[in-house]
Every structure is written in structure tokens, then in C-alpha cells.
């Protein structure tokens, strides 16, 4: 297989500034709703990129759980690599790859923990099995075998056999407040349409970028 020969054209349609909402969050919500209605697989899946103290970037796939005028929210173990890196460097980038509709969205901003009450409210909405997994897993830390992990899940299931499972104090949400959001629509002959919103005070500017 020759990787340099793998290519396809992007022919699903263009994007003009007149098509865009003046507010990037509203524009994002519109595109996300379209992705959901088209039944794309994992439409809320996003790459989360953080940077460690040495400047080494790291990425992983996380699910977006909330979005509104305040920003983008995801949840994680606060002992995980991404959470530890964000505690030292709040800068973050998100990327939504909607390949089937030839669209991408990139978000740059800063992340901070949401309140414990907000995290607890979401935690209680999760399936019980996911709640138990959050308690059992020391995310990003070495574990010798999967069997050991499952044994820890069993212990948590026994511990919380009665009543609601409380949210762990080591688990919760981050809210990403964006200062830059780029919308990308694939175009023929690699002439893609790209528009970037950049925050200036309380307002947003929009500029077309060369593909």
C-alpha cells in the first residue's frame, strides 16, 4: 500500500462567511446538531490536546458533555495526565473531526475546573456502571492486569451496593473558555473553506483563512 496514493476529493459543499452565525458557539451548536441528526458515529467525540511541563503535547479522545455561552465541558479523573497537565498549564485545544460530512472544528482556549456541585449533578446522571468505573480506575496510572481493575470494580460495587453512588472528590469537569474557534469545510482540489473566530474583548471577529 502506497500511502501517498491514498486521497479523495471533498465535494459536499462550500462555506461562505454569509453562512456563518456571528457567534461561534451558536455556529458550533448548529453544526453539532446537524452531525447528530445525520447520525454520525460519536458526534460529540473530540480530541483534547494538553502540554506537559517540558512542552510535550499529548492528545486523547474525550466526549463533550455540555456546551453553552460559557464554554465546552468534559469530565475526567482529576488525577489523570490531562488534568495534571491542565493544572500546570491551563491552555488547551479541542478538535472535532466530522469526517463523514467533511467538516472539522478546532477550539483554542483555557480550561478550569467546574464547581463540585456541577460535577456531582452530572455524575448522578451517569449509568451506575460508569459511576463505579470512575471510583475504581486511577486514570492514567499503571495497572498490572485487567483482572486487577475488574476486582477493584467489584469492590466498589459491594461498597456502594445500597443507595446513590456519590461523586468522587477526585473526579469532575473542566470548562474550556475559547478565545479562538475555527470552522473547516472540505473543498474540491484541496481548496478548503476555513473561517476563524477570534475573541476581542466581549466581541468576536471572523476571518477567512487560506486552505
Question: CA nearest 120: which of 164, 55, 67?
Answer: 164
Choose the catalytic residue: 155, 190, 199, 208. 190
Point out the annotated binding site for substrate: 7-10, 65, 122, 126, 130, 190-192
CB burial readout 143-173, b (16+ within 10 A) else e: eeeeeeeeebeeebeeeeeeeebebbeebbb
Are residues 55 and 34 in contact, defined by beta-carbon separation less than 8 angstroms? no
* Residue 208 annotated to the active site: no
Point out the annotated binding site: 7-10, 60-65, 75-76, 81-82, 104, 122, 126, 130, 139-140, 184, 190-192, 194
Q: Measure Cα distances from 159 to 65, 154, 196 in Å.
A: 28, 9, 49
Point out the annotated binding site for FMN: 60-65, 75-76, 81-82, 104, 139-140, 184, 194
Are residues 118 and 198 in contact, defined by beta-carbon separation less than 8 angstroms? no
By annotation, the residues acting in catalysis are: 190
Amino acid at each position: 500500500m502506497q500511502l501517498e496514493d491514498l486521497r479523495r476529493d471533498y465535494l459536499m459543499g462550500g462555506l461562505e462567511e454569509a453562512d456563518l452565525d456571528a457567534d461561534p458557539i451558536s455556529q458550533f451548536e448548529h453544526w453539532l446538531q446537524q452531525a447528530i441528526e445525520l447520525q454520525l458515529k460519536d458526534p460529540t467525540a473530540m480530541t483534547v490536546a494538553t502540554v506537559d511541563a517540558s512542552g510535550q503535547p499529548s492528545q486523547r479522545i474525550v466526549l463533550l458533555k455540555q456546551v453553552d455561552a460559557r464554554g465546552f465541558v468534559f469530565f475526567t479523573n482529576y488525577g489523570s495526565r490531562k488534568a495534571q497537565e491542565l493544572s500546570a498549564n491551563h491552555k488547551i485545544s479541542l478538535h472535532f473531526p466530522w469526517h463523514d460530512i467533511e467538516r472539522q472544528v478546532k477550539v483554542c482556549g483555557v480550561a478550569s475546573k467546574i464547581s463540585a456541585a456541577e460535577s456531582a449533578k452530572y455524575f448522578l446522571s451517569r449509568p451506575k456502571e460508569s459511576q463505579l468505573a470512575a471510583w475504581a480506575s486511577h486514570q492514567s496510572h499503571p495497572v498490572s492486569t485487567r483482572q486487577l481493575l475488574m476486582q477493584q470494580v467489584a469492590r466498589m460495587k459491594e461498597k456502594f451496593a445500597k443507595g446513590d453512588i456519590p461523586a468522587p472528590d477526585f473526579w469532575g469537569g473542566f470548562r474550556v473558555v475559547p478565545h479562538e474557534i475555527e470552522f473547516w469545510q472540505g473543498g474540491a482540489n484541496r481548496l478548503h473553506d476555513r473561517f476563524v473566530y477570534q475573541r476581542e474583548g466581549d466581541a468576536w471577529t471572523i476571518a477567512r483563512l487560506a486552505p
